[in-house]
Structure 1
Amino acid sequence: MTSPHIRLARPTDDAALARIDRETWSPLHAVVPRPQPPYDPFFDCNHRPADFLVAEIAPTGAGEAGGTAGTGHGAPAALRTAGYLRLVPPTPLACNAHVRQIQGLAVAEWARGRGVARALLRASFDEARRQGATRMTLRVLGHNEPARTLYTSEGFVVEGVLPGEFHLDGRYVDDILMGRDLTGGPGSGGQEA
């Protein structure tokens, strides 16, 4: 199995990423209602292509021709969009410009179990460092055990809990705040690519 090819998004990725976003919607991770037609564009003034990493892999049964993990260009034509990760500064304030926040991670159903989410996370660490960040944060719903397990395995630690922050599907769900050091010092944890 080839490693996912990770690159920065392009405006032409709009339709593919919108489709993944709609197809992967779940109350396990979403706090907004299920998208309904007519669908808004995936990219807008607050969600720019430059904020997204895109994963591409060869579909199952399409052979093992593929690119290498990491940001770059030159992916073989046989690759298919498999997922995305949104990486942005958490605020426009200069005093926390050293932080990047993951504000979305989705993997197409057909691509699950092929290391796409882990490859996107590891590429996001490199991209955040390239942008000058020394710290990464994210928020994850308390009942989303698969995501929490993945984030923990990649060095994120729980830094706070907002109990019952969301009311979803008739129950209150915690909002878990997680963070990770990107400098390799104490608290960086996890394995690097």
Structure 2
Amino acid sequence: MAVPHESPQTQIKTPTGIRIRPALAEDGETLGELDRATWSPLHAVQPAPTPPYGPFFDDRSRPEDHLVAEDGGVVVGYLKLGRPTPLACNTHVRQIQGLAVSAHARGRGVARALLRAAMAETVRQGGRRITLRVLGHNAPARALYASEGFAVEGVLPEEFLLDGRYVDDVFMGRSLAP
């Protein structure tokens, strides 16, 4: 039996002025634009999005599953935090299922702030563990995750064929237990 999802309550303001807050339904269009603008073969396994674009939020990707980063009231990033499975025996785990930061906000700690907010939200929801998947060739993301305490827990070698190149699927995780 699946446990009902709790809506995010985490709100953080970083020393650099970046504010992390729960997503709202009205963020959908902005997040969709950000998602399309940040698409890259460095982190995406799906082809580049093309019109017509569907809605950003749907039954599998709801506003309450997202944290949003704002700078001066402008959305500059988001993180999707979900459950890796619907199993009751797995409700203590959350999984980062998407992370994007606008090009003009990169290098300012936005992704790090989103990661830290996701960890805080996981703990607030009663979680003890957080995981993610990252493409093997995405060295900047892997370094960021490692610097926040995530360790490689498994690798599926050559799991994806992207732009004519085989790429590993890397599983990373960390404990959040007290």
TM-score normalised to the size of structure 1?
0.83
1:65-110 Cα deviation digits (max 9, x unpaired): xxxxxxxxxxxxxx20000000001011001100000000000111
Correspondence for 1:129: 123
Percent of paired sites with the same residue:
66
Point out 4+ residue stretches in structure 1 off by more than 4 angstroms. none
Q: CA deviation at 1:4?
A: 1.1
The alignment yields a C-alpha RMSD, in angstroms, of 0.9
Amino acid at match of 1:104: G
Measured against aligned partners, the alpha-carbon deviations of 1:16-69 in whole angstroms (never above 9, x if no partner) come to 1001100000000000010000000000000000000000013xxxxxxxxxxx
Q: In the alignment, which residue of structure 1 is the partner of 2:40?
A: 26
CA distance in 1, matches of 2:107, 2:168: 26
Q: Which amino acid letter does the alignment assign opposite residue 152 of structure 2?
A: V
- Aligned-pair distance for 1:3? 3.0
Aligned with 1:163 (options 151, 157, 160): 157
Provide the residue aligned with 1:50 in structure 2. 64
1:175 and 2:176 aligned:
no
Larger C-alpha radius of gyration, 1 or 2?
1
Letter in 1 for 2:35: D
Instruction: Tell me the amino acid that sits aligned with residue 151 of structure 1.
Output: Y
Q: Which residue of 2 aligns with 1:6?
A: 20
Contact 1:138 1:178 in 2 (8 A): yes
Query: Using the alignment, how far apart are the partners of 2:136 and 2:18 within structure 1?
Result: 28
Q: Do the aligned residues in 2 keep the contact of 1:83 with 1:107 (CA within 8 Å)?
A: yes
Q: Deviations over 1:158-190 (max 9, x none)?
A: 000000000000010000000110124xxxxxx
Give how far 1:125 is off: 0.5
> Is the Cα–Cα contact under 8 Å of residues 3 and 115 in structure 1 kept in the other structure?
no
Provide structure 2 residue ranges, at least 5 long, that are not aligned to the other structure. Answer: 1-14
Q: How far apart in 2 are the matches of 1:37 and 1:160?
A: 36
Q: Aligned with 1:39: secondary structure? A: coil
Report whether the alignment pairs 1:39 with 2:33: no
- Asked if the contact 1:156/1:179 (under 8 Å) is kept, the reply is yes
Q: 1:153 aligns with which of 144, 147, 164?
A: 147
Q: TM-score, normalised by structure 2?
A: 0.90
Shift of 1:122: 0.3
